[in-house]
Structure formats: structure tokens, C-alpha cells
Structure 1
């Protein structure tokens, strides 16, 4: 169960009645895997984990596992209040997920010892491999990550959503210094491609791609360019697609999810809107997004000499 390539974080489709649209989710996941995803992370941040109840979550994980059909690993999100996180972990295991992405506890900011205890108690709920997600209120020390890597067998990775490169470098060095365990680090910042060159400088090559959920052609072209040393294409995509996309994303809180879902609709997949407290993009922002998608697709096929 090794993660590689571009990691796909599918959205969670809702129908006109606001309910989960499983056939659309199945198509979304199957098409993403067929396009070349290296792993599926379902019911995570982009999949509006925060807006799903346990019954819906169970159906999302089951649908993603079935649609993936064993071709790549399927990780499911878990997090929030401790009882909820444990229940979701058990449900993911029962539905055949290959692992968990453990997101932060709900609202509160706890000390490092409390975060470590939270991880231990959630991981004890199932035998699934767990990737710990550092973001928001969940900020780990190097010693804490090393302790989890050594003492909790099913903690197998660390996803960084802070972008504090000094801290991340110290975490990597500390973990590598205490264990030879196959422990995965990856870039989990929103619109991660913008920071991929910086993370690669630390030896962190794996990253999540929100863009893959609505424009896998752009996401895969960037991945091919950055891993193949095509610096010219990397810079064109960063400058002319990813940078303006990030600027649009930052214009409204929650757009890191809302724009992805809107992008999927623009590309012809009827995934519906987002649930509160998120809001769907305004008409002018939708037009900007359409333009950016067109521009990004053009960049993946354009002859740089013309």
C-alpha cells in the first residue's frame, strides 16, 4: 500500500434535494482513478468531511472503495470530536478503506501531549494505517511526531498543512533519526502545487492535488513537468494558472473547497453545491474560474515556441 504520483481528493456530490449523490460520486472517483490518480482520499477536507454525518460518511467511503476497485489505495478522513473520530475510523475500516487521514480535533487548541493522546486513541479504534494531518489547531513538535512514528505501529505518515518549513525540516530529521520505518511525508497545503518546489527541496515529493478533482489534465501535466525537470512548463503553470487560482481561492474563506466543487461542475460533473458554512462562488468568480481552467488546459497543450 504505497502512495505515489498525484493524490486525488474527490468532492462529495449532493443532489438537488441536498442529499448524497452516490452515483455521481462513483463516477467521479472512477474517472479520477482512470485518469491516473496515485491514491484516493475520500471524505476529507475537499470532500466536506465536516458536513457529513456518520451514515453519509459510511456511504461515501463504501462508494469510493467500490469505484476504486483496488486499483489504488483509498484513505478516508477522520477527525473532530474524539468519539466521532473513533466512530468514523471504525466505519472506514468496516467499509474496506486502506487507511485514514486523521484531521485535527474540533475547535479546541490542546497542548502537544493532548494531541498525541488524541492520535493514540483514534488509531486504537481500528487497525488501519493512519496519516496524521498537521494544520489549524493541530501543530506537532518534532519529538511528538517521532514518538508517534516509533510507538504507534499504524501511524505511517505525516501530512503538512502549515507550510512552516523550519518546523517540518526538524520533524523530518527527528523522525528519520529515530526510526527506519517506511514513514511518508507529504505536502498538504491548499493548492499544493504552488509550494511543490519548496517541499521538494526538503525531500518531500508527495502532495495532494485539489486541481486533480476538476482538471486532472492540468494536475498531471504539472506533476510530469516537476518530476521530469521541465522547469519552463512548471513556471508557466505556476505563473499563469496556479498563482491566479490561489489568489481567487484566498478572496473568500472556504473557496479552497467551493472552487474545486465549482470546477467539477464547469467540467460537466453535476456534483451540486457546498453545504453551510461554505458558500458557492459568486457569478463573477465562476467566470474567472472558467477562464483559468481554459487557460490551464491550453498551457498543457501549447507549443512553448509559439
Structure 2
């Protein structure tokens, strides 16, 4: 019987990418380096093969290989969660792979293509949640938007431990947190979540997924510590000098929520190419140079063991 905690991870959550080599093949060594970097820099958990990990574009064979690497690197250090979702058949296979390889739980991404009714969403999520005894976190985004009654019904399933919001409907979030309270762990999953975390904290969201933690994790940690301690001066400074400038680049093109992470990782010297799989497009050269300037300035002002690349 599993001995893991029936609670979702808290704090800043690590979402490694799916590194690709020059030929577009999965680079498992680079994935291992990515995960080790996140753990060494204090992230509280690892979520592998999720949105940043290009779940939409990898085969289940590649998925298994990624989870195997993640299980090896996280064992005895931090909780391991996986991404499952899309095609329901594949999602159930992914859930079983996650169970087999020792993950603590999984984040359920939206169903493939269909814009479902509330009972359809419930059936999709409940079938995945109940398919194993692992912890499950639902992801509110795109075509998976849960009305309060649907989430309340899902809360009757013991395995459900968390709710991640990537929609940004704050009125709905107020209602959900009011109705459900501490039954779930509330996770901010908006793109570049540092931009919005100040608003989410007031609703009881204590965790968030950090894209920039893949390359400047000490900035995420400094920001979140300042936010929780009410150090408005530091929060304002990091917004102005690092977070907002990166966010402005991210908004330039759809898919940058993934490809901009790889660019940042390459800039700080991690063994990751900027290759992504279609339909995501790689970062344009001009945007790459803008990001390099922001990162180098950040590393100069807020030093860490990562070195600015000339």
C-alpha cells in the first residue's frame, strides 16, 4: 500500500520541459539535468510531462521514459506528479504508467478537442481520478471549465487533492474557494504565475507553478518570499525589472509559455536546445536576445550560481 500523503504539494511547484535534441528527439539526459536543477534550487515538487513538458506532443513510450527519469531523480527528495490528459484512452494509460513508476499523483489536463458539458467533464475527470489510488489535481483551463456544483461533486472522490487554475476567472475562484475551503489545495496555474500571484494569495491559493523557475528559480523564491512577508518594495522591484519584461515577451506569440522557458534555460547554460514540437513555434531571435538581456541584468543584480551568458 502506498504511504504518500493525501495532500497536494505546496509552495513553488517545478514543471520541467521536454528537452529535444538537434533532431527533435527527446533528450532524457537534459531532462534529468532540468529536474536536478529544480530540486537543487529548492522547488517543493516536480510535475513532469505536463503543459511545459509538451504532453500534447509526446508518445506514451516517450512519456514512460520521462517519468522513469523523473522518478529516479526525485526519489526520496520531493513528491513527483505527472501530467495526464487529452485522449481519455491515453490519459488512463498515463495514469497507470504513473502508478507503476511510483508517482505520488497526477495533474489532469483538459480532454482532447471536445467542448464538453458539465456531466461530460465530470465523467472524464472522475474516470481518470478513480482509475488509480494516486492523488489527483484537476486543471481548470481551455475546454475544462468546472462549475461549482461539478467541482463539489468531484470533491466526494478521496483521491482529488487539488485544483489548479489556468483560466483566471477571479469571480469564479472566489466562489469556489468560498464553497470548498481547505478541502483542496489551491494552485495558481496562470502563464507566468508570478504576475498574478498577489491576487491569488488573498483567496487562499498557497501554491503556484513557476515557468521562470526553470532558469532563474532564485528570482521566483525571492518574489514569493517578499509577497508573503508583505515586502512591497521588493515585489515592485522584481515586477519592474524581471517579471513584467519577461511577461511582455511571453505575450508576443502563442506557445511562448513553453518555448520561452527553453530559451531561458539555454541562456543560463543548461543543456537544453530551443527545439519544440509542432504546433508550438520556437522563440524568434529578437525575442531571444531580449530575454537574454533581461536574464543577464537579473543575474547581475541578484547573483546566484547560474552565470550570465555573453
Partner residue, 2:307:
none
How far 1:280 moved relative to its partner?
1.0
User: What SS does the corresponding residue of 1:264 show, helix, strand or coil?
Assistant: helix
Relative to structure 1, the CA distance from residue 126 to residue 239 in structure 2 (aligned partners, 3 Å threshold; closer, same or farther) is same
Q: 1:97 aligns with which of 72, 93, 103?
A: 103
Q: For the residues of structure 1 that align with 2:272 and 2:54, how far apart are their CA atoms?
A: 12
How far 1:227 moved relative to its partner?
2.0
The answer to whether the 8 Å contact 1:32/1:216 transfers is: yes
**Unpaired segments ≥5 residues, structure 2:** 304-310
The answer to whether the 8 Å contact 1:186/1:207 transfers is: yes
Partner residue, 1:203:
204
Q: 2:179 aligns with which of 174, 177, 180?
A: 174
Partner residue, 2:248:
247
Q: 1:279 aligns with which of 281, 284, 291?
A: 281
Corresponding position: 1:234 with 2:243: no
What is the RMSD of the two structures over their aligned residues, measured on CA atoms? Answer: 1.5
Q: For the residues of structure 2 that align with 1:139 and 1:70, how far apart are their CA atoms?
A: 35
Partner residue, 1:157:
162
How far 1:299 moved relative to its partner?
4.4
Relative to structure 1, the CA distance from residue 65 to residue 185 in structure 2 (aligned partners, 3 Å threshold; closer, same or farther) is same
Corresponding position: 1:16 with 2:22: yes
Write out aligned runs for 1:129-148 (5 A).
129-148=135-154
Q: For the residues of structure 1 that align with 2:271 and 2:282, how far apart are their CA atoms?
A: 14
**Unpaired segments ≥5 residues, structure 1:** 302-306
Misfit runs of 4+, over 4 Å: none
The answer to whether the 8 Å contact 1:221/1:300 transfers is: no
Partner residue, 1:53:
59
Q: For the residues of structure 2 that align with 1:17 and 1:292, how far apart are their CA atoms?
A: 29
Q: How many pairs were matched up?
A: 297
How far 1:200 moved relative to its partner?
0.9
Note the alpha carbon deviations across 1:156-202, whole angstroms, 9 max, x for none.
110000111110111111113xxx64x21110000000001100111
How far 1:295 moved relative to its partner?
2.7
Q: 1:88 aligns with which of 91, 94, 99?
A: 94
Q: For the residues of structure 2 that align with 1:144 and 1:297, how far apart are their CA atoms?
A: 45
User: What SS does the corresponding residue of 1:41 show, helix, strand or coil?
Assistant: strand
The answer to whether the 8 Å contact 1:249/1:256 transfers is: yes
The normalised TM-score by structure 1 is 0.94
User: What SS does the corresponding residue of 1:100 show, helix, strand or coil?
Assistant: strand
How far 1:68 moved relative to its partner?
1.2
The normalised TM-score by structure 2 is 0.92
The answer to whether the 8 Å contact 1:112/1:140 transfers is: yes
Partner residue, 1:106:
112
Note the alpha carbon deviations across 1:25-59, whole angstroms, 9 max, x for none.
11110121011011101101011111110000011
Q: For the residues of structure 1 that align with 2:13 and 2:70, how far apart are their CA atoms?
A: 14
Partner residue, 1:270:
271
The answer to whether the 8 Å contact 2:106/2:134 transfers is: yes
Q: For the residues of structure 1 that align with 2:39 and 2:84, how far apart are their CA atoms?
A: 22
Partner residue, 1:218:
219
